Amino acid sequence: MVLEDFLKKYFQQIKEVNDFHFEYLVTNKFKFPKANYIELKKFIDTATNFLMEIDEHILDDLMGKVYQDLNSLYTFYKGIKNKTKYVELIFYQEYLEKKNEYKTLKDEYEKLKIRMEEYNSAISKLEEQLKTLEKGSSEYKKVKKNYVDMIYELSKNKDRFYELKDLLESLEKEEELKFFPQFNKLKDLHLKKLEKIINVKLYYFDKLLWHKASNSSAVVKFFETSHIDGDFSTKTFIKYFLKNIDVSKAQNSEWYIYLQKMLKVVE
């Protein structure tokens, strides 16, 4: 298998997804936010669920479709990140193992390894058998000949075994020098592009969510009765959550730190 063909096929799906969404965003002149809204995803989900409990119609119609599309794309993103996380495994198990030259050498190497184990086992048994026989007897000579022949065969196999081992290691090093830089370059390129796409979609979903919330009588009433000061936005809601967290409870400390950080992220 040629490396360029492998990489093209491996990243084909994410490239197609990126091209489709990116072209749509650029064509329709969507704003690309400076803030990292992917970091805000956890809170946006929390806010969405919270608002849904107040007004079950928050995600009706277009909002629901936008949120579904966003979550589908985010799930795809996490899947790609996991899929490309362990590059060494991809190199050995998915690329090298499908490369004909390497596969042929590896198959012979593995067969020789098993054969050598069989020879060593047989030689050990013959050694034990020789100990029980009288030296010089016909049976002893017969077993001794088998023993010598077996050692000779093992020696021949060992030579080829280590020759194959060197060939495999040489091929691995040669392919590593080409594979890792090209794979990691494409991985970073595609993931960063997908992150930009998700970031835009999260930014606009966040704005749409709070626009919808500001027009919900149930949410407006909740803001009034809860004495929430500020506009209808994620930033205001983060402040509300921070104000009502019981930091004395250990399980809340991580969430509290996260919210403080996100307050600086949101635009």
pLDDT attached to residue 250: 60
DSSP 37: T
Per-residue pLDDT tens digits for 29-67 = 999 998 899 999 999 999 999 999 999 999 998 899 999
The one-letter code for the residue type at 39 is: E
Tokens 């794979």 -> residue: 183
pLDDT band at 188 (very low <50, low <70, confident <90, very high): very high
| 3-state SS assignment for residue 88 | helix
Tokens representing residue 197 in the block? 């796409």
Phi–psi pair at 36, nearest 5 degrees: -90, 90
End-to-end CA distance of the chain: 47
Q: How far is CA 195 from each of CA 8, 108, 257, rounded to the nearest angstrom?
A: 20, 44, 24
Of 259, 238, 256, the C-alpha closest to 246 is 256
Per-residue pLDDT tens digits for 189-232 = 999 999 999 999 999 999 999 999 999 999 999 999 999 988 99
Q: Count other Cβ atoms within 10 Å, centred on residue 192.
A: 11
Residues 6+ apart with CB under 8 A from 161: 109, 112, 113, 116
Q: How far is CA 251 from each of CA 39, 237, 240, 256, 262, rounded to the nearest angstrom?
A: 20, 20, 18, 9, 18
Q: Is the torsion defined by CA of 209, 215, 220, 223 positive or negative?
A: positive
The pTM (predicted TM-score) of the whole model is 0.82
Residue ranges of domains in the chain: 3-265
Tokens representing residue 209 in the block? 């969510």
Residue 51 Cα to chain centre, angstroms: 32
